[in-house]
Structure 1
Amino acid sequence: MDYSISLQKHMRMLCKTIGARPAGSAKNKAAVDYVAGVLRQCGLEVRLQEFDCMDWKNFGAVLRVDGCDVPVTASEYSLPCEIEAELCCVDSVEALQNAELTGKIAVMHGDLCKEPLMPKNFQFYNPGEHKQIIALLEEKNPAAIITAAPTKDHIIADGDFNIPCAIVSAEQLDVFKQSASRRAKLTINAERIPSKAHNVIAAYGKQSEKVCFSAHIDTKPTTPGALDNASGVSALLTFAESLSGKEFPFQIEIVLFNGEDYYSTPGEIAFMSSLSTEYRLAVNVDGIGLKNSATSVSFYSCAPEIENRIMKRVEQTTGIERIDPWPMGDHMLFASCGIPTVAITASDIFSLMGSVLHSPDDNMEKIDIDILSSTARFLESCADGWERDKDIFTKS
């Protein structure tokens, strides 16, 4: 089997033919249909797990201050607006507490924009400071919010937050502070459309005990998502193509989550609502194949015997190394339930957060097909030989 040809085919389909595929969109549905078709052709039994979400449409934004246009972008999932109002700059929780914002355009910067704020109904992680800021904004009730952050991050990206939000570069902050009129006109052309999306769950074998291989299929709205996460999906599709005729002591389950890059992770919540107690191991793949980077594995809730078994495969594979656990991503769904879990990613992926990932720059030029092929072969090697090692996965 030529891994490179298969991986290139899947990557081109997801990144170029389909492109950005946020949950709820028509392109997301096209991606789901494509991967489900590939898995069925591989002989796997496929089911689609449906959930509610929204298809957010962004038709652009316009901002004028003192008669001059200022570059602006709508925050993901923002409501539309067309308003002209007084500006009020706030840079800290204390300033926010003391500000009178009703009917004004609040310009957030400084400490209020040091990191993206967790969506108000995000179930898995939500710091108290984030909750405080969101609650204060809702209490103060500005007509709209503009965030001026030093990175490309959307500070507020929340479909449950009902104050229109836009983004400018921190370099534009003086435009607001030095404005003669202290007023601005903001137009956001956007729409929230109720929609549905699906997780793809595929099974190879009929055994009750399962080993799960997972990756997320969705992207942010403006990125082809090569690293995040067409690479992981393509690796699992290629892995599925290698299964035909093989026998395992466990059912091999391939789960393609939908919604990891959606503000409320609805696909993950839907999956968790029916999580099986029969998982013996979960392997999540996200952000692999990065040029000039090793591939990493990390372990969660794993017995030493499981770690040792997989580390033997690591030592036999060039370019794969072990790193410390990192508590972000779909692997934590399994780990938090005590299921032995392995996360596979590019070792250098973390340096791309806030720059390449979630942006148009996350394209196929960032992918090394040889590294991606090596990782796909590593997945296959991890699955081989389980009939000899079944005892180490047996729950006490």
Structure 2
Amino acid sequence: MKAHLAAFQEIADFNGGDRAAGSAGYDVSVRYVVGRLRKAGLTPKVQKFTYPYWRERSHAALARTAPSKASYKLEKDFLTLAYSGSGDVTAPVVAVDIPAKGDGTSGCEKADFKGFTKGSIALLQRGTCTFATKAAKAKAAGASAVLIFNKAGEKGPVNGTLSKPVALPALGPSHAVGAELAKAAKKGGLKLRVKTDTVHGKKKSSNVIADTERGRADNVVLAGAHLDSVPAGPGINDNGTGAAALLAVATKIKELGKSDLRNRVRFAWWGAEEEGLRGSAHYVDSLSEAQRGRIALNLNFDMLGSPNGTRGVYDGDHSTGTGTRAPAGSGAIEKMFQDYFKGRKLPTTESEFNGRSDYGPFIEKGIPSGGIDTGAEDLKTAAEAKAFGGKAGKAYDACYHAKCDRLKNVNLKLLDGNADGVAHVIQHLAQTTVAVNGGARLDLAQDPTYTPLWQGPYLLR
């Protein structure tokens, strides 16, 4: 894995400093993965796709103009939501169904905007439905701009995406700023200035897909990790670590015999994850209902070596009561990881299904999912520091989405143990998925010959 990470670092260093989708660094990363897979005897396919892109041309602004004046700071108090439209709006603010406590459904329902004054700025709280849904309903109600502020207990501003372009300015304030504005809006007379300057269009990227030759083609174990970085840096922890771990397993899997490789294993390196899960969403959408039905489950590995990380296992049984409730069978995947690490006396914590990685499109189609991660920009708690070591009150990865996300940023010891867990669970599921989807163990005499069933719009490279 360290050799793969060093290769990803070198690719970024000689190709503009990053491996972002649509860049030379990403294209060379694809060629690297394809080459390693071919050398291992697999037959990788490159699935090309087009997706909408978005960027800011200049800094956004948020300011209170009445009844008193104040300016808010970009990054500290607010961020622009990805795929926000452009505009410079000064208008009254209407707080839309802000909950007294908890997540609430602010802006999720058409009825929330009953009596909304057209041309006003809609102030909403994050929670329950997607940012895209909230922004779309605000636009339909006649809002001139939309602010979606963070939930109580969440640190900093909202760093989110609308997934596709929306024709109005959209910002994500922190909970402190949002709560302050909601209180002022309730009193009446609150006016804000919201300014965004953005551009959007179309870009091209690709996924890399490779199947094992052996195994049931009607009961596929799909393991994926995104290959792209953000434009700000080389993305060695995010997500060179997941991509490298998957590549290490893929190049060894032919060592399994017929008794261990009863189910087809499909490896996938997703493109444009950082642009809104574009590659994985395109892949899932490219499949017919029958083809999706042959996927037993999805495993996802995104950031496996955070320098101040934990060992987060996706909350498949929804025991924490947060995030998305995953399809039946996801809890079994969670237990497989937990049991493995418990057997090695390595602590784990639960990581919620919050829609931030490539399992999202699979969950939406009812496919059981699971995986592990080690944390991004959130802060490590005192309890986590006691269990995993590291520093409480500091980010799991201080170089998350930054230029410094290089090879030195990776906790190699944490990555090493996590990769063992990845290999263990893939090997177990390659033999049987009965605990996940009821898939019966296959009699060895029925081992099918290789017939690729995935017929998406891919091209060989």
Q: Same fold (TM over 0.5)?
A: yes
Q: 1:219 to 1:356 in 2, by over 3 A?
A: farther
Match of 2:94 in 1: 90
- Post-superposition Cα deviations, 1:156-201, rounded to whole Å, max 9, x if no partner, equal 63423111334566777899x8xx9967583x44321212222221
**Taking structure 1 as reference, are residues 234 and 352 closer, same or farther at Cα in structure 2, changes over 3 Å only?**
farther
What residue is the counterpart of 2:405 in the other structure?
A: 363
Instruction: Summarize the Cα distance change of 1:99–1:359 in structure 2 as closer, same or farther, 3 Å threshold.
Output: farther
CA distance in 2, matches of 1:193, 1:26: 18
Matches within 5 A, 1:278-317: 278-280=294-296, 282-297=298-313, 301-302=328-329, 313-317=340-344
- Displacement of 1:21 in angstroms is 5.2
> Are positions 1:162 and 2:128 aligned together?
no
d(CA) in 2 for partners of 1:217 and 1:338?
24
Separation in structure 1 between the aligned mates of residue 341 and residue 94 of structure 2, nearest angstrom: 50
Secondary structure of 1:239's counterpart equals helix
The residue type equivalent to 1:163 in the other structure is L
Moved more, 45-54 or 220-229: 220-229
How many angstroms apart in 2 are the aligned matches of 1:156 and 1:334?
19
1:79 is aligned to 2:81: no
Paired AA for residue 152 in structure 1: P
Which string of whole-angstrom CA distances, capped at 9 and with x for unpartnered residues, describes residues 70-107 of structure 1?
644543222334x4x533233333896555352x6x37
Look up the SS of the partner of 1:253 in the other structure.
strand
2:392 aligns with none
List aligned pairs for 1:1-396, cutoff 5 A. 3=1, 5-10=2-7, 12-13=9-10, 23-24=21-22, 27-61=25-59, 63=61, 71-72=73-74, 74-81=80-87, 83=88, 85-93=89-97, 98=115, 100-102=117-119, 106=121, 108=123, 112-115=124-127, 118-120=130-132, 130-131=133-134, 134-142=136-144, 144-145=145-146, 151-154=156-159, 157-166=162-171, 184=193, 186=195, 188-209=196-217, 210-218=220-228, 225-243=235-253, 246-248=256-258, 249=261, 250-263=263-276, 265=278, 267-274=280-287, 275-280=291-296, 282-297=298-313, 301-302=328-329, 313-319=340-346, 321=348, 323=350, 326=353, 328=355, 329-331=357-359, 334=362, 341-346=369-374, 351-352=378-379, 359-360=401-402, 363-364=405-406, 367-383=410-426, 389=431, 395-396=439-440
Runs of 5+ unmatched residues, structure 2: 99-111, 317-326, 381-394, 441-461
Letter in 1 for 2:158: D
TM-score, normalised with respect to structure 2: 0.61
Moved more, 46-55 or 334-343: 334-343
Gaps of 5+ in 1: 121-129
The count of residues paired between Structure 1 and Structure 2 equals 370
The RMSD of aligned alpha carbons is 4.8
Distance 1:48 1:71 in 2: 42
> Is the 8 Å Cα contact of residues 10 and 234 (structure 1) preserved in structure 2?
no
Post-superposition offset of 1:376: 1.7
Question: Contact between 1:285 and 1:344, CA under 8 Å: does it hold in 2?
Answer: yes
1:311-342, CA deviations, whole angstroms, 9 ceiling, x for partnerless residues? 66434435254748746444465566666644
SS in 2 for 1:56: strand
Q: Which has the higher contact order (CA 8 A, sep 6+)?
A: 1
The separation in 1 between residues aligned to 2:169 and 2:334, in whole angstroms, is 48
Assess, with a 3 A threshold, how the Cα gap between structure 1 residues 276 and 96 changes in structure 2: closer, same or farther. closer
Following superposition, the deviation at residue 372 of structure 1 comes to 0.4
Q: CA deviation at 1:288?
A: 1.8
Residue pair 1:117, 1:156 contacting (<8 A) in 2 also:
no
Matches of 2:216 and 2:157, distance apart in 1 = 45
Identical pairs, percent: 17
CA 75–292 in structure 1, closer or farther in 2 if over 3 Å, else same: closer
**Residue 257 of structure 1 aligns to which amino acid in structure 2?**
W
Task: Sort the Cα spacing of 1:252 and 1:116 in 2 relative to 1 into closer, same or farther, 3 A.
Answer: same
Aligned counterparts of 1:324 and 1:156: Cα–Cα separation in 2: 20
Q: Secondary structure at the match of 1:140?
A: coil
Which amino acid in the other structure matches residue 76 of structure 1? Answer: A
Deviation at 1:153, TM superposition (A): 1.4
Question: In the aligned structure 1, how far is the partner of 2:160 from the partner of 2:96?
Answer: 14
